Structure 1
Amino acid sequence: MSIPPPPGPYQPQGTQGQYPAPHPQGPYAPPPYGAWGPYPPQAPVNGVAIAALVLGILCFLPAVGLVLGLIALRQIRRKGERGKGMAVAGSVLSSVGLALWVLSLSTGFVSDFWESFKESARESATVSPDKGECFDAPSGSLEGMTYDVDVVPCTGRHDGEVFATVRLPGGSFPGDDHITNVADDKCYALRGDYAMDTWALPDNVDVYYLTPTRQSWGLGDREITCIFGNTDEKGTLTGSLRADATTLDADQLAYLKAARAIDVVLEKEPEEFPEEDLAANRTWAGEVGDVLARQSVTLGEYNWPARAERPLADLVKELDSARGQWAKAAAAGDADTFYVHYDEGYAFYDGQVTITARKALGLDASPPEYATDPGDSDADV
């Protein structure tokens, strides 16, 4: 760096230095009117050199950064522009970046890094707890949008308990309505596999689910999370609702599997009333009779503990009696006849014999309350 000349007479043009020559009236004196013009324009900075430096620093497209640096040097020499240092730095950095990319490709580092990145993105998009875990929602509600949940012990108060997960196929986002329909079908069907003792489910518990959004789908989220939650938006749950092979003994499992098999068929009751579609109802009644026959044999052949032998034998007799009524319903010639045997066939369900059998097995003995037609004033509640 050169040093400005000392104060003195006006210096002739062409003096070399970092700063302009001082004015004869002092360094801060204004020029006489009309005697001072603008400084000669400074050469512009080469734009290609700037681009080369940016690419070199970011190590993004290193081959492009190297080419741009070389082009910038040629342009600077030809046009007299500034930016040689940036062009050189960009070329050097891009050369180093290019060498590193070649080395990483040969060792598989880039592939590993990309897979790790995608996996991290998928994990960040999937905030759902696992099956059997309980959690609190940040908002305290199981409705609306959420981006994270806090897993907490099931023994204490919590907002929800995960009872199943459903994996959706890949491809493009199928739409919110489609995913909701799948969640409705799958989650309600799977609740009995986790909470096999439906009598033990509190009346204020219902099924909720956490589904992928369009944004999380793009990050690899393909999972529907099925959840038990309180029907009161401000309510919570306490204790686990799990009742399956991890929490029940062999005798309890044997009974609940038979009961579940019967429930699955009963839940397939046609939406049309017998007077609207007698044929569909007769077919369904035949299916109920068949499942009662199979489960009657299963329960009758099981080696029950002494305390449960008599109660389970009485239950088998009741199932056989109910099976006869369902067989008559399946053969009914009109809706009125169907209803008579339908009512008789359903009499076994959740009756005193069932309560006694459940007590003997150490299961919940309080029949759940079922929703009934508000117009039916004689219905038990």
Structure 2
Amino acid sequence: MSIPPPPGPQQPEGQHPQPGPYPPDAYPQDPYAHGPYPQGPYPQGSYPQGPYPQGPYGQQPYPPGLQGQPPHPGWGPGHDPYGRPAPVNGLAISSLVLGILCCLPGVGLVLGAIALRQIKRRGERGTGLAVGGSVLSVIGLVLWALVLGTGAAGDFWQGVKEGARDSAVFSLSKGECFDAPGGSLQGETYDLTKVACAKAHDAEVFASFHLPDGPYPGEESMDETAGGRCYGLQDSYAMDAWAVPDDVDVYYLVPTRQSWEADDRLVTCLFGNTTEGEKLTGPLRNDETVLDTHQIAYLKAAHVLNAALDTVPAQYVEDDLPGHRAWARRVTAALSQQSGMLRGHDWPQDAKGPVTSLADDLDKARTEWSKAAGASDVDTFYAHYEKGFRLLEPDRTVTARKALGLATTPPPYEEGGSGAGGDPGGTGMEV
């Protein structure tokens, strides 16, 4: 039902308004019973023109319910149900979409069958869509059955997880260098740019390892694990610690909570500059891929002693004499092993003298450290400890290092640093 608009000024003067709730007697029951037209028959074709123009009903009977009433001009195009195309069935469209996507082939097949019944009953369009959706859904069901039956689904999901993990750590490998956004190696990052290590760069990868499976351990626990492990792994990449600049420290990349859910367990250990805004100016790698056999033999012997020295107790001697005596025993054993490694290698002619002299100093130091290990009181421990430590001063190794072509500038000694068995600390970046 439609409600026509009220009469407007466009209606001709004297013309009756549109049908509606008119007052009683507004129109005579028979407009031809009286009025401007004379009563009586008129000759064929001689009807006078009245106030009602010829319209679509001028030559036809009035519609039912309006017998005897004149037609009225319309207010515009009316509702015409004829000539419109039949609507397309919505389920047929849905069936085709699901069939193409292959995400829910079973649903697409069911919707296609229902759509065909509705189309036949309602006279709607979309038979081709429903049939196409059903066919594609059947193909999708077959493909899903093959995937599940052959285990390809598991392989696919494993590939997705590995891709997410590789993306999270940017596929960084040992020996590669990169720039970080803003040059910062702290906080979260999602965009690292690989660069040649020969050029200025923010960080250099020297090692990596995987954390154990399980729930996300939290940032604090992960930082503690990553820092300790990365500090222990730096010697295998930069075997000569003297060749590492003083303003370079250990950093690391750890998984974020999101990448952990994708099975990312990789921690990547880095060298980076401790001065904000400063970059590394060249590669820091000095291991078996860079050094010769004599340099490697010397550095491996030196690492034996360094590892023992790094196990110094956290408490002072006065507070933990038994712990320091045990430490002195470890250093004594390391000195014996180091001296034996140096004496057992066949050194080049120009390096034999300096290396032999160094081995003699190590033997003297071993005697003092052995006495410190057997000290019965704090004063006795300190007396032998100080003598033994002076025999291990870095300057005593410069001659041998120079003969072997190694770095000759000792790194600065930091009280409580990692070399003295203190907390290694470290700085991590989440990816």
Given that 2:184 and 2:276 are in contact with CA atoms closer than 8 Å, whether structure 1 keeps it comes out as yes
- 1:224 and 2:267 matched: yes
Q: Is the 8 A contact 2:86 2:125 kept in 1?
A: no
Tell whether 2:163 aligns with 1:139: no
**Deviation, structure 1 residue 122:** 3.3
Q: TM-score, normalised by structure 1?
A: 0.81
Map of 2:30 onto structure 1? none
The offset of 1:95, in angstroms, is 2.8
Moved more, 301-310 or 85-94: 85-94
Tell me the alpha carbon deviations over residues 218-244 of structure 1, each in whole angstroms, 9 at most, x when there is no partner: 223221100000001211011111111
Q: Secondary structure at the match of 1:169?
A: coil
* SS class of match (1:127): coil
The yes-or-no answer on 1:122 pairing with 2:122 is no
* Residues paired across the two proteins, number: 348
Partner of 2:339: 296
**Separation in structure 1 between the aligned mates of residue 179 and residue 105 of structure 2, nearest angstrom:** 47
Tell me if structure 2 keeps the 8 A contact 1:206–1:229: yes
1:254 to 275, 282, 297: 297
TM-score (norm 2): 0.73
Which amino acid in 1 is paired with 2:325? R
Task: Please list every run of 5 or more consecutive structure 1 residues that lacks an aligned counterpart in the other structure.
Answer: 1-7, 13-22, 374-381
8 Å contact kept, 1:49–1:90: yes
SS in 2 for 1:157: coil
Shift of 1:321: 0.8
| 2-structure distance, mates of 1:133, 1:150 | 11
Q: Given that residues 329 and 337 in structure 1 are in contact (C-alpha distance below 8 angstroms), is that contact kept between their aligned partners in structure 2? A: yes
- Counterpart for residue 307 of structure 2: 264
Give the letter aligned to residue 9 of structure 1. P
Tell me the distance in 2 between the aligned counterparts of 1:250 and 1:24.
Answer: 113
Alpha-carbon separation, structure 2, partners of 1:278 and 1:105: 65
Q: Taking every aligned residue pair, what percent have the same amino acid on both sides? A: 53
Aligned to 1:151: 194
In structure 2, the CA distance between the partners of 1:82 and 1:244, relative to structure 1 (3 Å rule), is same
Give yes or no for contact 2:96–2:134 (8 Å, CA) kept in 1. yes
Secondary structure at the counterpart of residue 412 of structure 2: coil
* Structure 1 position 172 matched with structure 2 position 219: no
Distance 1:262 1:38, change over 3 A: same
Query: In the alignment, is the contact (CA less than 8 A) between 1:125 and 1:219 conserved in 2?
Result: no
Partner amino acid, structure 2, of 1:292 = L
1:359-370 equivalence runs, <5 A: 359-370=402-413
What is the alpha-carbon distance in structure 2 between the residues aligned to residue 270 and residue 214 of structure 1? 35
1:253-302 CA distances to partner (integer Å, 9 max, x unpaired)? Answer: 11110111100000000001111011011011011111101211221222
Is contact 1:62-1:95 (8 Å) kept?
A: yes
- What does 1:22-171 align with in structure 2 at a 5 Å threshold? 25=73, 29-30=75-76, 48-49=91-92, 51-75=94-118, 80=122, 82=124, 84-85=126-127, 86-102=129-145, 113-171=156-214
Q: After TM superposition, give the deviation of residue 52 of structure 1 in Å.
A: 2.7
Matched, 1:320 2:363: yes
SS of the residue 2:230 aligns to: helix
**Residues in 1 aligned to 2:287 and 2:162: alpha-carbon distance in whole angstroms:** 32
Whole-Å Cα distance in 2 between the matches of residues 191 and 119 of structure 1? 27
Which structure would you say has the larger RCO, counting Cα contacts within 8 Å and 6 or more residues apart?
2
Please report how far the alpha carbon of residue 90 of structure 1 lies from its aligned counterpart in structure 2 after TM superposition: 2.9
- The amino acid of 1:233's aligned partner reads E
